[in-house]
Amino acid sequence: MTTPALFIDNLHKRFGGLPATRDVTMRVAQGERRLVIGPNGAGKTTLFNQITGDIAPTSGAIYLFGADVTRLSPAQRAHRGIARTYQIITLFQKDTLEHNVMLALLGLSRRRFDILRPLSRFPDMRAAAREALALVGLDGAADRTVSALAYGEKRRLEIALALAQKPKLLLLDEPMAGLSLEERKSVKSLIASIPRTTTLVMIEHDMDTALDLADAVTLLHYGKVLVDGSPQAVISDPQTREVYLGV
């Protein structure tokens, strides 16, 4: 059996007496597109935060391409190929698109310790930033400030920051949240164009838009995996209909 890109083994997280994730086990194959769904408060973002190292699990283990990363820092995991976007946009609003992407690249480079050298002195990093912006259709706006962008463009910029790091595993936390219909179509097309060399795990509430992007779906409920399988199997499962679809 091929080593999975991501293997989560019996993951638990408690905040005091409150369980946020409960015995979560999930195997994501290399190149797979996995959709994680569930009601508000199901533990989806908490699961992402444990995968990236922002939150330490109470127990259980996380493996990235066969290597145990459970005790590694977020920075160490980023260097091993994990990148993510956030449910709430986290960008430098007064800076340019190009500089936002360059800062993301700088975080993975030893050049980050060269604090006296301006970003303009790194032409190769600037070229990489422009390349990432081109992937999301924003290369023509590289010199604009983030605050001047439409909301959908900011979502695409966040994906550009993640793609610039050339991740092996990309986590997208509600990338289509708050978008108009046309913006959702644009972001969906962008996500579909990401090459299979990058494994993708996505949290998304807009089932109509996201479902056909997925190879497999995991339903979380009260921090526990309730249903896991193909999109059709999960959507047709009575438990999904009861706790998530409301039918």
> What pLDDT is recorded for position 178?
87
> What pLDDT is recorded for position 116?
59
Question: Nearest to residue 47, comparing CAs of 183, 215, 167, 221?
Answer: 221
The pTM of the full predicted model, rounded to 2 decimals, is 0.91
CA gap 69, 25 in Å, rounded: 15
CA gap 61, 40 in Å, rounded: 24
Architecture of the domain made up of 1-81+167-247: 3-Layer(aba) Sandwich (3.40)
CA gap 5, 197 in Å, rounded: 11
What string of DSSP letters covers the chain? -PPPSEEEEEEEEEETTEEEEEEEEEEE-TT-EEEEE-STTSSHHHHHHHHHTSS--SEEEEEETTEE-TT--HHHHHHTTEEE--SS----TTSBHHHHHHHHHHTTSGGGG-TTS-GGG-HHHHHHHHHHHHHTT-GGGTTSBGGGS-HHHHHHHHHHHHHHT--SEEEEESTTTT--HHHHHHHHHHHHTS-TTSEEEEE-S-HHHHGGG-SEEEEEETTEEEEEE-HHHHHHSHHHIIIII--
* Residue 119 Cα distances to 15, 116, 142, 153, angstroms: 41, 10, 14, 23
Question: Mean pLDDT in each 10-residue stretch from start to end of the chain (247 residues)?
Answer: 93 92 96 94 94 96 98 94 90 93 79 61 86 93 94 93 94 92 91 95 87 94 93 90 75
CB 19 within 8 A of CB 47: no
pLDDT, one tens digit per residue, over 142-201 is: 999 999 999 999 999 999 999 999 999 999 999 998 899 899 999 999 999 999 999 999
Tell me the domain boundaries of the chain.
1-81+167-247, 93-166
> What pLDDT is recorded for position 177?
87
Sign for the CA dihedral angle at 108, 109, 112, 116 comes to negative
Residue type, 19: P
> What pLDDT is recorded for position 118?
66
